[in-house]
Amino acid sequence: MLEKGVVIKTTGSWHTVLDENKEAVPCKIKGKLRTSGIRSTNPVAVGDNVMFYRLENENAGVITEILDRKNYIIRKASKLSKEVHVLAANLDQAFLMISLTLPRTTLRFIDRFLATCEAYEIPAVIVFNKTDLYDEELTDEMEELAGMYGQIGYESVMTSAVERRGLDELASRMKGRTSLLAGNSGVGKSSVINAIDPALNLKTRPVSELHKTGRHTTTFSEMFELATGGFIIDTPGIKGFGIIKMDKDELSHFFPEIFALSENCRYYNCLHTNEPGCAVKQAAEEGKLAMSRYESYLSLYYDDTGKYRTTRY
């Protein structure tokens, strides 16, 4: 009998599928699997909804089909390969956890992440963590940034794992949804999740040990269910999340406020770098567009490393 389930972990050829009674069943894949058509190194990803059957007298099953994906995020399988690795599928939203100190997240990193979410059409929320460490100046900066991103359409949540601040709000936003939790190492992702649901007992690591090697040895994504409801995807390959190298003439689509301003540029194909009559550049100079956002746009525009594919998936 076929059952429906969701993949919560993949390690090599074994995939952990959560059945409809929330029981975890280790599954292999049936030899021939209908795939989604992309050339990926992994046929099944965390977040995939699948059909599977159980093997008799064994606590194991076989996946026979991957149901259509609402969306998925990828990274390149390796530096030279054209193949991709699907990091996660069926995301409802992405939380970008940042910190203004220890370690400080750069605005460039935030904007890259947000632009990538736009390209994937995944709603993004910014989480300011470690707020217990912010002095008055950093608190002002946080309010200013939250206001600036809020105007663009990105909501913010302010949290502290230490002082248990903002956890209810975060948990309620996560409830009933599948969320990607992203952010630089050390910003407190695991700590915040543990503070929401201590039973998960995720490993945390002091910031002073971040430079030590072995940090990024895991390459498999994992999905956790919170006791308060909702699934969280913690993916180690998040650096490669920037895999979507947007075409230069499409880049402004992924900066919503820049895209809105571009309507007033003199040339319809204005790229907002140095063109005469560019409403975007003018707005940045007049303070109507955050200079940091404009600079992030330009930095992505000029980022010609050729590291990533130019295709949008």
Ligand X SMILES: Nc1nc2c(ncn2[C@@H]2O[C@H](COP(=O)(O)OP(=O)(O)O)[C@@H](O)[C@H]2O)c(=O)[nH]1
- Tokens for 141, please give them: 């900066």
Q: Is 118 helix (H, G, I), strand (E, B) or coil?
A: helix
Q: Is 307 helix (H, G, I), strand (E, B) or coil?
A: coil
- 278 forms part of the interface with Zn ion (CB under 5 A): yes
Among 4, 34, 82, 205, binds ligand X (CB under 6 A): 205
Contact, 87 vs 75, CB < 8 A?
A: yes
Angle between helices 107-120 and 291-302 (to 10 degrees): 70
> Is 117 a residue that touches ligand X (CB under 6 A)?
no
Measuring CA to CA, which residue among 243, 266, 283, 270 is closest to residue 112?
243
Of 241, 260, 243, the residue nearest 252 (C-alpha): 260
E strand segments, 13-141: 14-18, 24-34, 49-54, 61-66, 72-76, 84-89, 93-99, 124-129
Comparing every residue's Cβ against ligand X, the nearest one is: 188
Return the residues of window 208-267 that contact Zn ion according to CB under 5 A. 265
For 81, the token pair is 């390969």
- Token pair 């130019």 is found at 310
Whether 171 and 181 have beta carbons less than 8 Å apart is answered as no
Tell which residue, 90, 52, 56, 97, has the closest CA to residue 73. 90
User: Using CB under 6 A, which of the segments 18-26, 29-37, 68-76, 126-134 binds ligand X?
Assistant: 126-134
- Taking the complex as a whole, how short is the minimal distance between the CB of residue 231 and Zn ion, in angstroms? 40
Q: Which does 186 bind (CB under 5 to 8 A by kind): Zn ion, Mg ion, ligand X, none?
A: ligand X
Q: Closest residue to Mg ion, Cβ-based?
A: 190
**Residue 165 or residue 189: which is nearer to Mg ion going by CB?**
189
Residue closer to ligand X (CB basis): 51 or 200: 200
* 5 lies in the binding site for ligand X (CB under 6 A): no
Tell me which of Mg ion, ligand X, Zn ion, none is bound by residue 290, counting a contact when its beta carbon lies within the kind-specific cut-off of 5 to 8 angstroms: none
**223 backbone φψ class: left, alpha, beta (φ>0; ψ -120 to 50):** beta
Q: Binding string, 128-167, against ligand X, x = CB under 6 A?
A: -xx-xx--------------------------xxx-----
- Tokens coding 113: 């992440």
Out of Zn ion, Mg ion, ligand X, none, what residue 278 binds, judged by CB under 5 to 8 A for its kind, is Zn ion
Of residues 160-179, which lie at the interface with ligand X (CB under 6 A)?
160-162
Q: Is 190 in the site for Mg ion (CB under 5 A)?
A: yes
Identity of the residue, 71 or 194, whose beta carbon is nearer to ligand X in the bound complex: 194
Which residues are near Mg ion by CB under 5 A?
189-190
Which residues are near ligand X by CB under 6 A?
129-130, 132-133, 160-162, 183, 185-191, 204-207
Which residues are near Zn ion by CB under 5 A?
265, 270, 272, 278, 280
